[in-house]
Amino acid sequence: MSKMNTEAMKRLEKKRKSKKNEPVGLWSEVVYRLTRNRAAIFGLCVIIILTVFALFPQLFAQYGYDDQDYSRTFIAPCAEYPMGTDNLGRDIFSRVVYGTRISLSVGVLCMVCSLIVGGTLGSIAAVYGGATDNIIMRICDIFMSIPSTLLAISICAALGNGMVNLIIAITIALVPSFSRTVRASMLTVKDQEYIEAARAIGASKTRMILRHMIPNAIGPIIVAATLNVAGSITAAAALSFIGLGVQPPTPEWGCMLSTAKQYITSLDKWYIVAFPGIMIMLTVFALNLFGDGLRDAFDPRSRS
C-alpha cells in the first residue's frame, strides 16, 4: 500500500513540474510548440543559413558571380570548385551563393508587397462589410479565377523583363489570396468582446484595425506569409526559366537553370543543372516545413 502511495506521489509531483514549465500567453505557447517541432526547427535552421548566404555572399563565394575563364570550362565538382564550373568557366558555387540573395529578395519583397496591398483590402472588406466587402471580394474572385502563374506570365509579358516587373507581376498574382486570408482572420475577431468595447468607447475603425484586430488575427497571416515566400521563389524561378523574369548574367536560380537547360540530358555535365535546382528545392522545402510548423503552433485545435 505504501508503495502505491509513493508511486502516486511521484506522478503528482511530475505533473506539478510539467505545469510549471507550461508557457503562459499566446506567443509563449506558439514559441514553445514551435521549438518542439523538429521539422520546423530544421526548416528554420536552413532558412537562417540561406539568409546568412544572402547577406554576406562575399564571405563564402571564392569568385565573382560573373567571373569568366574559358580555360576552366566544364570542370566537375572538386575541392577548388565544389559545384563545378559552367560553359563560360564561372564558378557555380559562387553563382549559387550570390543567387541566394536574388531569389530570397524576390520572394520576401513579393510577400511584403502583396501582404501590404492584400492586407489593406482584406481589412477594409472585413471591417466595413456590405457593398464594400462585396466589391472587393468579387474583384479578388475574378483574379483568382485565373491561375496565378498564368496571370504572372501575362503581366510579365505585358510589362517586360526585369526584376522590378517580376516582383510586380508576382505581387499582383498573390494579392487576392492574401486579401481573402486577412479578411477571414479579421472576421474571426470582429465580433469579440474587446472589439465591441473599443467600438462602444468611440474608437475609429482605423484604430480598431491597427490596434485590436490585426494583432489578434496575426497568426494565420504569418503562416500565409511564410508559405507565400516559397510560392514567390518558385514563381520567380519559373518566370526566369522561360525568359520573362531576371535576365543573364544575374545569378537567379531559375535564370541559371534556363541557361543550363541545354545540358539537362548530358550525363557528364549534370552539375550545371542539378545544383541550382537543388537550391530551389531545398529553400522551398525549408520554408514549407517552417510554415507548416507555424500553422501547427497557431492552430488552437491542435493544442493539448
Query: Measuring CA to CA, which residue among 55, 48, 63 is closest to residue 95?
Result: 63
Can you say whether the dihedral through the CA atoms of 82, 88, 89, 91 is positive or negative? negative
∠ CA 69-98-102, rounded to 5°: 130
Residue 112 backbone dihedrals phi, psi, to 5 degrees: -65, -45
> What gap in Å lies between CA 156 and CA 154, rounded to an integer?
6
CA 206 → CA 81, 122, 299, distances in Å?
A: 56, 13, 27
Q: What are phi and psi of 91, to 5 degrees?
A: -70, 120
Q: pLDDT tens digits for the chain (304 residues)?
A: 454 455 555 565 555 554 445 555 667 887 888 888 899 999 999 999 999 999 999 999 999 999 999 999 999 999 999 999 999 999 999 999 999 999 999 999 999 999 999 989 998 898 888 899 999 999 999 999 988 888 999 999 898 888 999 999 999 999 999 999 989 888 888 778 877 787 788 878 777 777 778 777 788 888 889 989 999 999 999 999 998 888 888 899 999 999 998 898 888 899 999 999 999 999 999 999 999 888 888 775 554 4
Alpha carbon 205 to chain centroid, angstroms: 30
